[in-house]
Every structure is written in structure tokens, then in C-alpha cells.
Amino acid sequence: MQNILFITSSRIGDAVLSTGLLDYLIKLHPHSRITVAVGRIPAELFQSFPNVNRVLTIDKRKFGLHWLSVWKKCFGTKWSIVVDLRSGGISTFLRSESSFIFRSQRRARKYIIFGARQLSKNHRLEEMAKIFNLRKPPNPKIFVSEKDCEYAKNIIPKKDLVLAFGPTANWIAKKWRTERFLQLAQKLIRKNGLFEESKIVIFGLENERESIGELINSLPKGQVIDLVGKVNLRTAYACLERCKLFVGNDSGLMHLAAASGIPTIGLFGPSRIEHYRPWGEFTGVASTKKTLEELSGYDGFKVKNTEALSGDQKLSLESIMDSLSVNEVEKVIRNLWKKVKESSG
């Protein structure tokens, strides 16, 4: 019996992308016992994976002390394989027959704005797959429970045409304005619209409800499904699988939607499309007219702590996505939907 340690991200998006690599390992070593070390928020995504017998949650601490905590839980085991997608250095201090370490370029990102260093133009998943010398990266794979599936069936019957919206993100600058999501929804589901009379399911965290309340409250009651703060990540995935299309900001939810296999459109502004576009055959991107380099000049762009932003800085960041119009997003949706229809004959 092989013991495998799989260390992955604290960010939902990166964690979702890494699930394909974990699935690849399981298929390669079907009788292995796997421990996954992952951030607390995306940890649930790995709990239903076959062969995973332990999920260690990583709670980030100052001075990298969270790695000491992980090491204490892992040093007593002789590992057949250690996969470290965090570049945390922990694999150096563990007993293992072989190790695969992903050298992240995230720390070099700050230099790109000033042209001092060129980052890879490959997708994040393509870069991670290189640790196994894979030319074709494995698609992300999420396993859910029967309970998750049953909940999704009750919320989203297959007979209904349902669109999924992800109007939130983990950074204010990556959020397309809520009123624009509303305008887009109204155009799509109106009479003679592309998805006439369709329902729209809205995802988000409970603490994000206030910021997207206008979208929830302004749509016809019979055509909106409010799942804000009501589902965990696995259940959200099960619900997304039953939707016809997803539109949302660059976020972990966007990557979850793409992993579910539904047509997915990501809205991009102050992040690198080539690194984090939704992964999959039926995916698309709508982006701001302004480049990342141009957007980086906005007041407050480099302030890491959102709570430290002044009122003017918040207004500045809230406007970053404004050069992306509703019409442009609708155009991308129409083109992707046409591709989907043509592929199905």
C-alpha cells in the first residue's frame, strides 16, 4: 500500500485546477492511501475523493508556521510520493521515495507590471502538469456525495433551462458591477432573448448578499433561484452540473463551473487571462478593454488589505471592470452557445 501526500492550494480556484492531477495520481496508483493538505475553505472538495483517507486543513499563520503544523502531522509517515503544489519547502523535511514540486511564479508577478521579468504564458494547470511531464493536463475532477446530488436535483430539475450567475469575487477590483449582471440577465431571459423564460441561479457567500441584493430582488421571482449562502462548494458543484451555462467573475466559482463541464464564461479585468481563463472545451472569456498594466495604475490597486482602502480608493477599484460592456458579454455568450449547439448537431 503506497502512501501519497498531496499538498495543494488554499485558494479555491487553484485547488479546483489541481483536482485533475490528484485524479491522475489515483488512476496511476489505484491502491494508494492519500493524504491531502489543503486550505480550510476548499478542503471539502477533496473529502469525497476515492483513496483519500485524510484531509489536513492548512490555516495560514505568520512566518510560515502553518507549515510546521503540517510537518508535525506528516513527519512520522514514510511517503511513497509527495506532491507539493505550494512550493512550501516542506517536502525537503519529509521521508519520501519520490517528490514532485511545483515552482510557482506567483511571487514574481509583482515584477511583470514594470517589465522586469516575463512570466510564462501557459495556463496555471499546464504549468502544474509539468511536474509529471504531462503534455496534456488532466481536466479538473470533483467527486460529490449522493446527498449533494439529491439536493441539486430538487433545486434544479433537468427539465428546466437554468443559467448560473457568479456575481462575486474575492477582490473588489475583479467584480463586474451588480447592475450590469442584472442588465445582462434581463436581456438573456426576456421575450425573444437567447434564453427566453429561463431561470437564473445565483451563487455567493452570505456575507456577499448585500452587495448583490439588487440582482436577486430585481429579477422575476419565478425565474430566480437564490443559493447565496445556502450551499457548500460540493453542493454548488452538483447544482452547476445541472445548469446550461455559467457567467461570472474570475473566481473559484468560475473554475468550479468549468470543472463541472457546463459552458463557462469568465469575466476578466485585473488578472491574467492566459493563466486563469476557465479550463475546458466550451469556455470563453469577456475582458475589459484596458490591459492589466493599465488597470494597475488605478488608485488603491496595490493595497492588499481591502479594509485599509479609503472611500475614493474603493470607488476607483469598483470602476476597474467598467470598460467591459453588457453587449460585449452577451456577444461572447452568443458565440459560445452557437459553438455548443453546433457541436451537438
d(CA 256, CA 5): 23
pLDDT, residue 92, reads 84
Give every residue of the chain whose pLDDT is below 50, as ranges.
107-117
pLDDT, residue 313, reads 81
The answer to whether 137 touches 23, Cβ cutoff 8 Å, is: no
pLDDT, residue 117, reads 42
pLDDT, residue 113, reads 37
Q: How far is CA 267 from CA 31, 106, 201, in A?
A: 41, 21, 17
pTM: 0.92
Identify the CATH class of 146-343. Answer: alpha beta
pLDDT tens-digit map of 26-45: 999 999 999 999 999 999 99
Triad 262, 152, 18: Cα angle to 5°? 50
pLDDT, residue 121, reads 84
The domain segmentation of the chain, as residue ranges, is 3-132, 146-343
pLDDT tens-digit map of 162-201: 999 999 999 999 999 999 999 999 999 999 999 999 999 9
The answer to whether 303 touches 309, Cβ cutoff 8 Å, is: yes
pLDDT, residue 223, reads 95
pLDDT, residue 89, reads 78
Domain at 3-132, CATH homologous superfamily: Glycogen Phosphorylase B; (3.40.50.2000)
Q: Give 328's strand partners.
A: none
Instruction: Evaluate whether 3-132 and 146-343 have a shared fold.
Output: yes
pLDDT, residue 116, reads 39
